[in-house]
Amino acid sequence: MTQTISENSAQTETVYIGLGSNLSEPGQQLQNARLSIAKLAGIEETGYSSVYTSPPMGPQDQPDYLNSVMAVNCTFSAQQLLKQLQDIEIQQGRIKTRRWGERTVDLDILLFGQQHINQTDLTIPHTGLTERAFVLYPLHEIGGDELIIPGYGKLGQLMQTVPLNGLTRLGETGNEN
C-alpha cells in the first residue's frame, strides 16, 4: 500500500523565540505566552531558559524587564510564525507605545534555523541580538557555545564581547522572589 506523507512533509526548523515583558505581572505574561506558543499547531517546544531581569534598554522611566528564550521545532514558515506571535501579543493586550517603550509582551523571532531573512517586516537574525545581554545569555543557556548565529559565528565567542549590563538570572518563572 502506498503511504501518503504530504501532510507531514513540511520542513522543520529549529527556531529560537525571545520573550520579554515589563507590565501587568511580567512573570505571568511570559508563562502565558510560552503556553500559547507551545500550543500552536506547527510548534513543538524543545527548550526554555531561566527568566532574567534587566533595566530597560530605551526610556528609563519604565519598569525593569523580564526576558527568556524558548527553543522550538517549527513547521511554519517564518512569516506564518511572525503572524502567530503577533496574534499572541495582541491577545495579551500589547499596545503600541513609544519606541522601546513598556509592553505586556514582546515576542521576537531570534533565529530561524540558519536562515538570513531581510524583508520589510522581518529581519532574522533579529536586529540587536548580537549586542543585547538579555537575549544572548538566555539563548546561550539553551543553545550552548556552539550555536551558530548566521553572519556572526559561534554564540560562545560572541557572548564574550557582551557584558551583563545589569542582567540578573532569576529562576524558572521569574516569580520566585
Residue 124 binding target from ligand ADP, Mg ion, none, CB below 5 to 8 Å by type: ligand ADP
Residues 33-92 binding Mg ion (CB under 5 A) are none
Is 106 an interacting residue with respect to ligand ADP (CB under 6 A)?
A: yes
Query: Could you give phi then psi for residue 167, rounded to 5 degrees?
Result: -70, 135
Is 151 an interacting residue with respect to ligand ADP (CB under 6 A)?
A: no
Note whether 17 and 135 are within 8 A (CB): no
Is 106 an interacting residue with respect to Mg ion (CB under 5 A)?
A: yes
The set of cell numbers assigned to 26 is 511580567
Note whether 128 and 139 are within 8 A (CB): no
Note whether 33 and 87 are within 8 A (CB): no
Question: Pattern of binders to ligand ADP over 109-148, x per CB under 6 A?
Answer: x-----------xxxx-x----------------------
Q: Is the peptide bond before 150 cis (omega within 30 degrees of 0)?
A: no
Cell 526610556 sits on residue: 59
Q: How far apart are the first and last CA of the chain?
A: 59
Active-site residue 64, yes or no?
no
Active-site residue 98, yes or no?
no
Catalog residues that contact ligand ADP under the rule CB under 6 A: 82, 100, 106, 108-109, 121-124, 126
Catalog residues that contact Mg ion under the rule CB under 5 A: 106, 108
Catalytically active residues, by annotation? 94, 103, 106, 108
